[in-house]
Amino acid sequence: MCIVNGGLETAAFLLTLVLHEFAHILLAQAFGMEVEEMQLLPFGCAAKTPGISFCNSRAEILVAAAGPGINLLMAAILIVIPIEEKSVFLEAFCKYHIGMAAVNLLPVLPMDGGRILCAALSLKLGERRATQLTSIFGLLTAFLGLAASVWLIWQGQWNLSLLIVAIFMLGASWNYYRSALQSNAEKMLARRRQIGKSGVAQVHAIALNREKPLGRALTQLDQRAYNLVYILDDQLHPVGVMDEQLLSELAVRHGVSAKFSEIPWKEEKERRRLND
């Protein structure tokens, strides 16, 4: 009987997980995003949709909320609908929907709650600043989780799940905070491939002194347009122009703190032209 009940609970968890991710996938595809792969996390999995970084923030909020939304909806249906004698499967199904919604709504990246918070903040603060603030909040949440785990251990009560989740949140939040600028460069490379499929893009141009760091240019880029960066000398005369792909490649290779005057960007541009 225990084996049967265990199998039913496992089936309930897997079905809950599938419904959660399927909701993300359906809404992402409705906004024209492609799902590349499914990533395994310590407490489930996540659909990898590169195009979500290039949609508007409101669409990102809706896509992120779809998974927890379907979990809460299913849990509400199971609670409200009168069933004389609920089976082990239905009880587990309801329990896992509530649990999955609660965990995924934590305001920590890359959880759905973190993505919702980050997208909402980006409406006012911009993507980079929003990512940093959400990551800081995630670090604080992770430290609270670790503190609670230590306290429980001190009380002689081990909670391995809480410890694993706290460690995961700590690592993920730190990586998001540290790579807030770097991720913009990687997103530019991915978005160029997205634009290549349609062949049409709006153009956003910015101008910077050659003594400015690459990171300054990255913060000025429009994530939803094709970007051109004009490099100026001290007399504000243009000495060259680069597209977002070259800027992204240079940022990945030399770091976001490198100045335009310190790197051979003209040689890189010529090398790319000859290779093309």
Q: Which sequence spans correspond to the domains of the chain?
A: 1-105, 183-275
Residue 255 has pLDDT above 70, yes or no: yes
Q: Which residues pair with 267 in a beta bridge?
A: none
Q: What is the pLDDT of residues 2-40, one digit of tens each?
A: 444 567 788 888 889 889 988 888 887 787 666 656 665
Give 93 or 7, the one with higher predicted confidence. Answer: 93
Tokens 């980050």, residue located: 118
* 241 Cβ contact list (under 8 Å, min separation 6): 228, 229, 230, 231
* 176 Cβ contact list (under 8 Å, min separation 6): 109, 110, 131, 134, 135, 138, 183
| Range among 26-35, 63-72, 165-174, 236-245 with highest mean pLDDT value | 63-72
| Range among 45-54, 69-78, 202-211, 235-244 with highest mean pLDDT value | 69-78
- Mean pLDDT for 134-145 is 90
* pLDDT confidence of residue 74: 92
CATH architecture of 183-275: Roll (3.10)
d(CA 146, CA 127): 28
Q: How many CB atoms lie within 10 A of CB 151?
A: 11
Q: What is the pLDDT of residues 96-127, one digit of tens each?
A: 999 899 988 888 888 888 889 988 888 888 77
* pLDDT confidence of residue 4: 46
Q: Which residues of 127-141 are buried (b: 16+ CB within 10 A; e: fewer)?
A: bbebbbbbbebbbeb
